[in-house]
Structure 1
Amino acid sequence: MNISRSGRIGALCWVAAAPLFLVANLVTGLRWRDPTYSWATHNISDLGNAHCGIWDTSRPRYVCSPWHPLTNVATLTTAVLLAVGILLTWRILGRGGMVRAAQTLLLLAACGYALVALYPADVDENLHVLGAFLIMGLGNVGLLLAGFAPGTTPLGRWRRLTLTAGIIALAGTALFFAQQGVGIGVGGMERVAVLPYPLWTCCLGVLLAETPAPAPAPARVDHGVVVSE
């Protein structure tokens, strides 16, 4: 398989998305003071909340994120990188109903990142929850479907990686919505549900970026003149 210049750009977008998202989460969390931010106790969304106060009736906790704009801008940028990566690698990963269904759901998940960034939970909870559903619901189903792409397609070459990511993500989603932390806290379980998708695209982006570019067309001689094909 060869990869075009646009496909390589899409792959590099995928490579950048997960590190950007994770670093922004880490830096924003470090700015919390009272309380300090806990990846086991707090949700990812708490980092993007625009106001300070008690949040979430089902699991009440005090949320105050001074650097919430950083998280929201980084999450929106992550959405753009994921979406551009999907669109620019659309034809590269193969054809068929399973591949296209997976790509469509993963594109909707990228839109989910945009929604959660533009509408923090304490600003518009309904749109924020819709974004979370697109990420953890449709996106993780799309990730699992990508794992069943035919072995004859480029996407099917990385079936083990993709299936592993999809199964982990869906298991994390089920446990998160059941509010089961299983030793890592409910906040930790949310990360099990959310992170496989951007981490998978990062890995896939690296693999695609290392793929050779198409070889130049051989030249031919026409009446003593070298002509490129």
Structure 2
Amino acid sequence: MPHPVADPTPPPHPRRWHRRLSRHTMGCLAWLLQLQFLVVNVIAQLAWPHDTAPYSLMSNAVSDLAAVSCGTVAGSGVYICSPLHVLMNVSLVTNGILMLVGALSFGVGHLTETTRLTTARALLALAGAGTVIVGLAPEDVALVPHVVGAGMMMVLGNLGFLLLGLLMRGDDWQLRVGRTRLGSIVTFFGVAGVVGTVALASILLSGYDGRYLGGGAVERVSIFSLVFGEIVAGFVALTLGPWRQRRRHHSALGYRRPNEVHDTDEQPAHTA
């Protein structure tokens, strides 16, 4: 009777596995550190001079917190003045870099590298670059680059994140939060971001001032769906991913914990 042929594929080299893990971990940390953007948003809003014109989440745009000068917006009569605009712009540039690093590093060595995944990474990387442009070109200093950068962040970023979520749902790398797959969570945030972006575009193309149509709130759905989604993805993959991969790696090397008992193991003989 012929003996079964052993699988000639060697187990992953430990150094290569740790190198992949390090790059993936760097991507997770980059996305997780986008928490700084949320914190700076709150701080900048609290520093807004409420005695003149309170900052409104419904009518004021996120970019208003990064406006360099104080004054009334032409055509709308909305007064803008952000004392912490420097901090906000630095946060935007930092967040763009974090988005870019995460886009190029998240899931490396775990997700199946395909053309569609490369497309998703490229879209997310361009969104990060757009965020950097937004921080370097405030709305009251260079409006055209600012709008282009914001469009890259919201349109390309949410499309890329939605594509990433769909790819994660069908990939072998399945991480779960309870019974929910991480791919499904990423897809949810991607859909929310795309819906928010389409709604914001509809308001802007309607010819009416978006500040009176809840444009600030709709813009936040588009922006923060992407930011929140990447933070959640980074946190879940950082806390669950290495543990899952380490177990798979040890299994490939035939490693067993000393106290691990299997049904197929020989049991020690008991002496009378």
TM-score, length of structure 1 as denominator length: 0.85
Which stretch shifts more, 157-166 or 30-39? Answer: 157-166
CA deviation map 1:118-171 (0-9, x unaligned): 000111001000111101111111122123216125389533112211111111
CA deviation map 1:83-118 (0-9, x unaligned): 112222262333112211111101100111100000
Which of 173, 178, 183 is matched with 1:154 structurally?
173
Specify whether residues 153 and 132 from structure 1 end up closer, same or farther in structure 2 by C-alpha distance, changes over 3 A only: farther
Which of 73, 83, 86 is matched with 2:90 structurally?
73
- Counterpart CA distance in 2 for 1:52 and 1:164 is 38
Structure 2 residue aligned with 1:29: 45
Comparing both chains, which one has the higher relative contact order based on Cα–Cα distances under 8 Å and sequence gaps of 6 or more? 1
- The question of 1:189 aligning with 2:202 is answered no
Flag structure 2 segments of 5+ consecutive residues without an equivalent. 1-16, 176-180, 205-209, 255-272
- The question of 1:20 aligning with 2:39 is answered no
Structure 2 residue aligned with 1:226: none
Q: CA deviation at 1:179?
A: 2.4
Flag structure 1 segments of 5+ consecutive residues without an equivalent. 220-229
- The question of 1:205 aligning with 2:229 is answered no
Matched pairs, number: 216
The 3-state SS of whatever aligns with 1:123 is: coil
- Counterpart CA distance in 2 for 1:90 and 1:127 is 31
Which of 28, 51, 56 is matched with 1:11 structurally?
28
Amino-acid identity (%): 31
The question of whether the paired residues in 1 share the 8 Å contact of 2:189 and 2:229 is answered with: yes
Q: Give the aligned CA root-mean-square deviation in angstroms.
A: 2.6
Specify whether residues 9 and 121 from structure 1 end up closer, same or farther in structure 2 by C-alpha distance, changes over 3 A only: same
Q: CA deviation at 1:177?
A: 2.1
Which stretch shifts more, 79-88 or 190-199? Answer: 79-88
Say which one has the larger Rg. Answer: 2
TM-score, length of structure 2 as denominator length: 0.72
1:79-94 aligned within 5 A:
79-89=96-106, 91-92=108-109, 93-94=111-112
